[in-house]
Structure 1
Amino acid sequence: MQASGDLGNGTYRNPILAGDYADPSVVRVGDDYYMTHSSFKFAPGLLIWHSKDLVNWEPIAKALTDYAGDVWAPDLTFYKDRYYIYAPINEEIMVLTAKHPHGPWSDPQKVGVQGIDPGHVADSNGNRYLFFSDGYMVELAEDGMSAVGTPRKVYDGWPFPKEWVVEGNFMESPKLTFHNGYFYLTVAQGGTSGPSTSHMVASARSKEPWGPYEHSPHNPIIRTQSRNERWCSKGHGSLVDTPDGGWWIVYHAYEKGYYTLGRQTLLEPLEWTEDGWFRVPLHCKTDEPIPKPPGDAVPHGMTYGEFQEASGWLGYPWSWYQTNYDIQYTLQKQAITIQAAPEAAPLVFMPEGHSYAAQVEIELSEESAAQFLLFYNGSTYSGFGISQEGLYGVIRGWETPSKPYPHRRVIVRLENNEHEVVFYYSADGSEWNKFEHSFETSGWHHNTLGGFLALRIALRAKGSGEVTFKNFIYQKL
């Protein structure tokens, strides 16, 4: 099972979701919380999480069933008995809707706005607005499905000190919260990657959604102050209140030394000052135990060893990378059989630990080949391969010459010990052989390779015929 930040004594320790769960957007409806994240080039995407206490989260649906493009920084909201996800897909904002977060969700529909990082808000008269990158706002139609009018710039961002070490003067992730007569605008500034001190959360407020906005005297609300901290590039905050009147901020950050895991999801409490601003309590430390919000704990996380959910769909831990064709596959609880293709899309799984092992059993048909990889993107991946000619290595996309292997079945195990990766293989699971190619992956992250992605485990079926992967195991070391 996926690791939980719940310490079992009324406190939790960050992260609340370990692994690449970037750009969190959270909404409360009654006693229930729902959250989603960027899914980038992976599909099914827009995984929906459910919680009762903001610390323990269970996956309940994937809103985007088919590959539609590169999905960045969605906004999950609830308005008049309907759920909406405003999601930039290839930098064009689209909207999906559902009556319940379990779905079914509609296909994405164009809103009519080019941009990223949307944030929805409605005023007391039912007028709806969509904010997006660089401080722009546009009015929405009554049903929230399309933009009306022309986008206008309503906020220039908080002028942080010029001597701060940041990636750039970027303003992203405008999220709106209406509270005590004010529209509170929460934004991300400084750049989501780059130096460890780059990203931050800033706040401003206005009586009207179009401004003028007044900067919070407590800015930055969230920021990594030193490269020596555990959590780097903290930012992209989403506010949420609890049924008892408490307030919290969910955001993402990289872990120092483990940028390969992507931007993980963190949670901190907020307090309101007498003059109507929010801030993180001065005594709160990101990397120390924090008292939990109220609420019961749902069963946390995913079951990692299963390819198929009870619904019959592909298991929540799994997704395809950039699927530009209709992939043919059949599922069982512990197995997936994939129709091979010459340029096969990999099936990927997100690891969460500093050190971990993963194992899978592979069975080939006569014309197929298979790979078990550590995968960043379509050009950066390394690992183990098997074909009719034998076993071969994959080194940053290059395939080594094969060496004879007498079987079409093999069990493969990888061990990633703080970025050093060793593969082992066995014909029967009892006698193991170390594979001759090993790898070092500490630089496989956005700061060096771009794309805002993270290191994943991947299964790939190549050639023609079929490949069966089964009995997948993932465990922390």
Structure 2
Amino acid sequence: MVYFIIKKLKLKSALIVVGILFSVLMLTNCKNESGTNGKDEEATEQSTYSNPILGGDYPDPSIVRVGSDYYMTHSSFNYYPGLIVWHSTDLVNWERISHALTKNVGSVWAPDLVFVNDKYYIYFPAGGTNWVVYADTPNGPWSEPINLNLSGYIDPGHLVDEAGNRYLYLSHGYVVKLTDDGLATAEEPVQNYEGWQFPKEWSTECFCLESPKSTVQDGYYYLTTAEGGTAGPATAHMVVSARAKSPYGPFENSPYNPIVHTENRGERWWNQGHGTLVDDFNGKWWIMYHGYEKHFQTLGRQTLMLPIEWTEDGWFKVPDDIKASDDIELPKLKISEASHGLSDDFDNEELNLQWQFYKDNDLDRVSFMEGKLLFQAKGKSFADSSPILVNSGDRKYEVQVEFTVLDDVEFGLCLYYNEVANMHISASKERFSVFNRQRRKINEPNMLGNHGYLRILNDENEVSFYFSSDAKNWSRVERSIEASGFNHNVFGEFLSLRAGLFAFGEGQVQFDNFIYKSLD
């Protein structure tokens, strides 16, 4: 057909016709490849996603859908400001939008983020009790934390029954009714669930019935819980399900338990557990949960996602042919333009959302001048310096920062688990030093003067340290550190090895151009 047109028309006209035919053909192919589901979506070349959804220490995810928007938060432990709130439109790409907690009330575990009566609430345990904060929008401002005076329980999970009454599921299989505004308890907790007894020959850490989350579907109250312990053996943690016709039970356990579980040490993802269900804008269902990556427990418990299918007998499960280590078909949703990078040029004149203090939230230590961070030193040693940290999320990465010495302070870059477990390269007017767990490994004289650059390379848990005058030609400090043991099974506290900045002594140091680069 094209040959016939060329023969009958002048060359210019023929080329126009050929172009039109080619365009129609390509448009038809694009429609056939992208498809449509009648919802608001954008075509994308990417058709699958791979776990983790959020790399790094983002455990105990709680997620809520509001229209076509999704919001999520996680345990924040002793990092402040706490309770990072994330936003996404596609469940895969996420962006930080706020911190819901600025007042230090202790180590924050397993929160539950919900949307009720046009308000957002986060229920969470900390400091031996349970708290709630609320806001009109997930961007905040969030309220001051309100003490619910519920001691002895962790991991509250919010529930609204068919009559509009509000409850909290609690650890150990308890439930408590709330007041209508959700800001106080209305009754005493009562036990409503004994859990699912997994086979005793399984290698677990404990029974540990916790993290109850609620889903109301087709007249049933589905209770999604965790058992087995969150760390310890690779096969310890799991997600289990039960359902009842009343929030008070009685509950029957799912025949498909465990819903999520690491079956053996050969798998990529260990200690998979603590799940929350969410339906997407197209009516598909997903489970958000966490797991450690084999050999990279230093990264903490990372956020993972799997599709969920509902069975004919009214239960839910992960499809039999899908594993967390697979490439999985993307949700058919509007693609998020979200980004959660960790680098910072300090041009925003405020501490960006990726930064958190350890056991502190002293923003008076932070000021900005001409796009540079002025960081006030704290304490007399690294152990009490309360660094600011970012949540490192890669097997292999490097961090670097530009510095200018202003006062008599010692400062630098660190990889930090807690006050005991950490490593850093420090600088002063006189020297560069590398430390491992507060023990000095080596000194080198500072020949750069008052200005230079520091760099740490974490090559799959083998850590090396560098300094430079121009960020191009680097001098490697002789000592390297093997870091794979910096994890919960060794040091406790459920934390991760995070990169950050510190300063101690008297005065300030100037930082600029903090760069975090994944090298995977």
- TM-score normalised to structure 2 length: 0.87
1:317 deviates by: 1.7
Matching residue of 2:388:
347
Deviations 1:60-119 (A, max 9, x none): 111113433211110000101000000112231100000110111101110121221110
Letter in 1 for 2:227: Q
What displacement does 1:237 show?
0.1
Matches within 5 A, 1:443-454: 443-454=485-496
Q: Which of 264, 274, 295 pairs up with 2:302?
A: 264
Among 378, 383, 387, the residue aligned to 2:419: 378
Deviation larger for 312-321 or 24-33: 312-321
* CA shift for structure 1 position 429: 2.6
Q: Distance in 2 between matches of 1:132 and 1:199?
A: 18
Q: Secondary structure at the match of 1:373?
A: strand
The change in CA–CA distance for 1:348 and 1:99 in structure 2 (over 3 A counts) is same
Establish whether residue 120 from structure 1 lines up as the match of residue 161 from structure 2.
no
Mapping of residues 178-257 of structure 1, within 5 Å: 178-257=216-295
How far does the alpha carbon of each residue in 1:166-211 deviate from its partner, in whole angstroms, 9 at most, with x for none? 1111111000111100000000000010111110000000000011
Q: CA deviation at 1:401?
A: 7.3
Which residue of structure 2 aligns with residue 31 of structure 1?
68
Deviations 1:140-173 (A, max 9, x none): 0110001122111111110111111111111110
Tell me: CA distance 1:7–1:456, structure 2 relative to 1, closer, same or farther (3 Å).
Answer: farther
Which structure shows the bigger proportion of residues in helix conformation?
2
Matched, 1:369 2:410: yes
Q: Are the equivalent residues in 1 in contact too, given 2:351–2:366 (CA < 8 A)?
A: no
What's the CA shift string for 1:287-310, capped at 9, x where partnerless?
A: 111111221111233232226585
Greater mean deviation of Cα atoms: 397-406 or 145-154: 397-406
What residue is the counterpart of 2:446 in the other structure?
Answer: 405
* Cα distance, 1:378 vs structure 2: 1.0
**Retained in 1: the 8 A contact 2:407–2:509?**
no
Query: What amino acid does structure 2 have at the position aligned with 1:276?
Result: G
Map of 2:126 onto structure 1 = 89
Match status 1:141 vs 2:183: no
Report 1:167-182 matches (<5 A).
167-182=205-220
Change (3 A) 1:364 1:464: same
Q: Describe the superposition over 1:392-420 as per-residue Cα deviations: whole angstroms up to 9, x where unpaired.
A: 22221234675432412221111111111
Aligned to 1:3: none
Q: Quickly say closer, same or farther: Cα 1:7–1:344, change in 2 above 3 A.
A: farther
- The one of 445, 452, 459 aligned to 2:501: 459
The structural deviation recorded for 1:313 is: 3.8
The separation in 1 between residues aligned to 2:139 and 2:132, in whole angstroms, is 16
Secondary structure of 1:84's partner?
A: strand
Amino acid at match of 1:36: T
Aligned to 1:18: 55
The gaps in structure 1 that reach 5 residues or longer are 1-5
Cα–Cα, structure 1 residues 315 and 54, in superposed 2: closer, same or farther, change >3 Å? same
SS at match of 2:445: coil
Q: What secondary structure does 1:356 align onto?
A: strand
- Output the CA distance in 2 between the equivalents of 1:30 and 1:326: 35
Of 455, 466, 472, which aligns to 1:424? 466
Structure index of larger Rg: 2
The residue type equivalent to 2:243 in the other structure is: R
Q: Deviations over 1:350-385 (max 9, x none)?
A: 111111111111222231110211111011111211
Aligned residue in 2 for 1:58: 95
Structure 1 window deviating more from structure 2 (62-71 vs 287-296): it is 62-71
The match for 2:400 is 359
Displacement of 1:331 after TM fit?
3.3
Q: Using the alignment, how far apart are the partners of 2:341 and 2:460 within structure 1?
A: 23
Structure 1 vs Structure 2: percent identity of aligned residues? 46
**Is the contact made by 2:434 and 2:465 (CA closer than 8 Å) also made in structure 1?**
no
Distance 1:81 1:326 in 2: 31
Q: CA RMSD in A?
A: 1.8
Please tell me whether the aligned partners of residues 309 and 316 of structure 1 are also in contact (alpha carbons under 8 angstroms).
no
How many Å separate the matches in 2 of 1:95 and 1:350?
24
- Which runs of no fewer than 5 residues in structure 2 stay unpaired? 1-42
**Which of 395, 399, 417 matches 2:436?**
395
Distance 2:364 2:496 in 1: 23
Which residue in 1 is equivalent to 2:10? Answer: none
The structural deviation recorded for 1:248 is 0.9
Counterparts in 2 of 1:308 and 1:365: CA distance versus 1, 3 Å: closer
Aligned residue pairs: how many?
Answer: 471
Q: Cα–Cα, structure 1 residues 145 and 182, in superposed 2: closer, same or farther, change >3 Å?
A: same
Cα distance per residue 1:311-336 (max 9 Å; x no partner): x5421221110117564211369632
Give the Å deviation of 1:387: 1.9
* Residue identity opposite 2:70 in structure 1: Y
State the distance in 2 between where 1:200 and 1:159 align: 12
Worse-superposed segment, 32-41 or 286-295? 286-295
Q: Is 1:329 matched up with 2:366?
A: yes
Q: Is the Cα contact below 8 Å between 2:394 and 2:518 reproduced in 1?
A: yes
The whole-number CA distance in structure 2 between the counterparts of 1:53 and 1:451 is 32
8 Å CA contact 2:63, 2:113 repeated in 1: yes
The amino acid of 1:331's aligned partner reads F
Deviates more, 1:300-309 or 1:189-198: 300-309
TM-score w.r.t. the length of structure 1 is: 0.95
- CA distance in 2 between partners of 1:275 and 1:22 (Å): 31
